[in-house]
Amino acid sequence: MEQIELKKQELLYVTGEHGERFFGGNQYWYPKGDFTPGGACGSTTASNILAYILKARPELLKKTSIEGFDSKAGYLGFMKTVYRYYHPSIIGLPTSWFIKGTAKFAKEHSLAISAEMLKVRVRRSKRPSFSEAAGFIRTALENDTPVAYLILSAGGVENLYKWHWVTIIGLDEKNKKVRILDNTGTSWADLGAWLDKSFLGGAFVRILI
């Protein structure tokens, strides 16, 4: 299969107060006190995905009272809203909480969306193959929807970090890589190696529209 990426990635750009540009959100924008920045990678990933879905589909955005995505201040305001639905536990955001948070966000904002998961288990014999994982991701990207990627252990793969959520915005099946968005930075990560080498596995979550 050919490489595939989100169609309107420019929608993820955020402008700072001095004109600087950021790509998506950063978990460390959350202020300490009412939030836990170090554990907010899941809510930041959810913010990126939901912001993209709503901005790419104006008919959905009109059903909500959400606005102001384009400035950093506005985006952080949205991230704070999303945090209420995807707030982390003391060990981070479990996949079940991500799915439940999506259902609650959808209900309270009158959106016909839901989430489903592909789990990457600890036992390698129980894990999805690369083609299965790629198919799960590709289906979402073909629908112009980012994918949430939970990494419980990195397996020594460059650009991946343990106990961390990132946003998948592209897939290169030929080279077995995914393009990830992580705290406003992007890179290509070796998905094939991760599926083979990750000690604890993780999961992928996609939003259904």
State yes or no: pLDDT of 1 exceeds 70: no
Q: Are residues 74 and 136 in the same domain?
A: no
Model's pTM, two decimal places? Answer: 0.97
Residue 30 belongs to a domain:
yes
C-alpha torsion sign, points 18, 22, 28, 32: positive
The pLDDT value recorded for residue 97 is 97
Q: Are residues 54 and 101 in the same domain?
A: yes
Residue 90's pLDDT band, with cuts at 50, 70 and 90, is confident
The pLDDT value recorded for residue 68 is 86
pLDDT, tens digit, 9 for 90 and up, residues 154-171: 999 999 999 999 999 999
Residue 2 belongs to a domain:
no
Among 66, 84, 108, where does a domain finish? 108
Residue 1 belongs to a domain:
no
Containing domain of residue 165, as a range? 114-208
Residue 193 belongs to a domain:
yes
Q: Are residues 41 and 126 in the same domain?
A: no
Among 74, 108, 142, where does a domain finish? 108
CA–CA dist 81, 183 (Å, integer): 18
The pLDDT value recorded for residue 132 is 98
Among 108, 131, 151, where does a domain finish? 108
Mean pLDDT, all residues of the chain: 96
Q: Are residues 118 and 102 in the same domain?
A: no
CA–CA dist 81, 98 (Å, integer): 14
Percent of the residues in the chain that have a pLDDT greater than 70, as a whole number: 100
User: Mean pLDDT throughout 184-208?
Assistant: 98
Count of domains for the chain: 2
pLDDT, tens digit, 9 for 90 and up, residues 56-76: 999 999 999 898 889 999 999
Q: Are residues 104 and 118 in the same domain?
A: no
Percent of the residues in the chain that have a pLDDT greater than 90, as a whole number: 94
- Nearest to 154, CA basis, from 180, 175, 136: 180
Q: Are residues 101 and 18 in the same domain?
A: yes
User: Mean pLDDT throughout 95-108?
Assistant: 98
Q: Are residues 87 and 161 in the same domain?
A: no
User: Mean pLDDT throughout 80-104?
Assistant: 96
Which contacts (CB < 8 Å, 24+ apart) does range 62-67 have? 63/109, 63/110, 63/111, 64/109, 64/110, 64/111, 66/109
Q: Are residues 133 and 180 in the same domain?
A: yes
